[in-house]
A and B are shown apart, each in its own frame.
Chain A
Amino acid sequence: MATAALADSHAEHHYTSTGLSSPKIAIWAFIGSECFFFASLISTYLIYKGRSVVGPFPHTPWTNPATGEQFHAILNIPVTSASTFVLLMSSLAMVLAHSAVVRGDTKYSKIWLGMTALLGATFLGFQAFEFTSFVHEGLTIKTNLFGSTFFVLTGFHGAHVTVGVLWLLSLLGVDMKRGLGPRDAINVDICALYWHFVDVVWIAIFTLVYLIQ
């Protein structure tokens, strides 16, 4: 009887011989591979750091010798600090959403899933503002080595956040349609793991790109 129930449970949740669910093993393996992906982008940024021949530069002002045009240090630490705080709070909202789904509390699962998606979208808004202001100030992906490595690194991170927001919105859609309950906890957990990983990558980027000169 117990074995039959266990077998049913396994069939439903795709448990492996380790007793752990396949989707969860898959997402951790995926996150492990993402470590390599972001490490390669971060190492490229760090290798080329300080090797740009022309400005604008991230932390120091620059005057174009040909035109006499002046550029200030391009990184805006207060704005990025605010966006970092927003992303950290989105992780808190995500764990609360997962907790609500585990409890079967559909009211709060909707609120926290919506809040996480909203905070993620706010972070993307900050990034769009930053990219736009950089372009207006004369820094594009082809201006110098800093521009190339910076836009590729933060752009790929932003793409990951975008995927996360879409994932969250799809979960919110399901929650609104039929309600997410304890049976769906594993699906929300997988989305949460992806979201927190995006958060920890930003923790590294914020320090290595924005704060360390």
Chain B
Amino acid sequence: MAGQSDSQTMYDSHGEAHALEHAHPDWATYKWVAIILTVITALEVWVYYTPLKETRLFVPTLLAMSVAKFAIVVMFYMHLKYDAKLFRGLFVGPLIIAIIVLVSLLFLFGHLALHV
């Protein structure tokens, strides 16, 4: 009985995992994602040719738009928003470590280096 219950639990867990793994957005979502990505890209290029380029806001603005595009593609096209948590961990974990390493290297050797 206990074995059957375990088996049933495993079956349910697998069924849930499979459902999660195969859950994808619909066509309307894909269409809107493509439109939003195109608009953000156009904005990025537009900002490049405006006087904003000479201000301190230029870099943070571009980085914010880039991060938004990155997140949208990962969440919807790579369907990480709908997928199993393990996949999220396998991607987001290394990504965070990579970003920390990148920023640390910039502080050590790059333009963010503290010259003491």
A residues adjacent to B (C-beta < 8 A): 2-3, 6, 15, 18-21, 24-25, 28-29, 31-33, 35-36, 38-40, 42-43, 46-47, 49-50, 77-78, 81, 84-85, 88-89, 91-92, 94-96, 98-99, 102, 185, 192-193, 196-197, 199-200, 203-204, 206-208, 211-213
> Number of contacts between A and B (CB, 8 Å)?
145
Cα–Cα distance between A11 and B46 once the two chains are bound (Å): 52
A residues in contact with B78, CB < 8 Å: 192-193, 196-197, 200
> Which B residues contact A (CB, under 8 angstroms)?
7, 11, 13-18, 21-22, 24, 27, 30, 33-34, 37-38, 41, 44-45, 47-48, 53, 58-59, 62-63, 65-66, 69-70, 73-74, 77-78, 84, 86-87, 90-91, 93-95, 97-99, 101-102, 105-106, 109-111
Inter-chain contacts of B90 with A (CB < 8 A): 25, 28-29, 31-32
Alpha-carbon distance A36/B78, docked complex (angstroms): 19
Min CB–CB distance A88 → chain B (angstroms) = 5
Chain B residues near A204: list those with CB within 8 A. 66, 70
Name the residue among B66, B78, B91 with the largest chain A CB count within 10 angstroms.
B78
Q: A18 is contacted by which of B33, B86, B99 (Cβ under 8 Å)?
A: B86
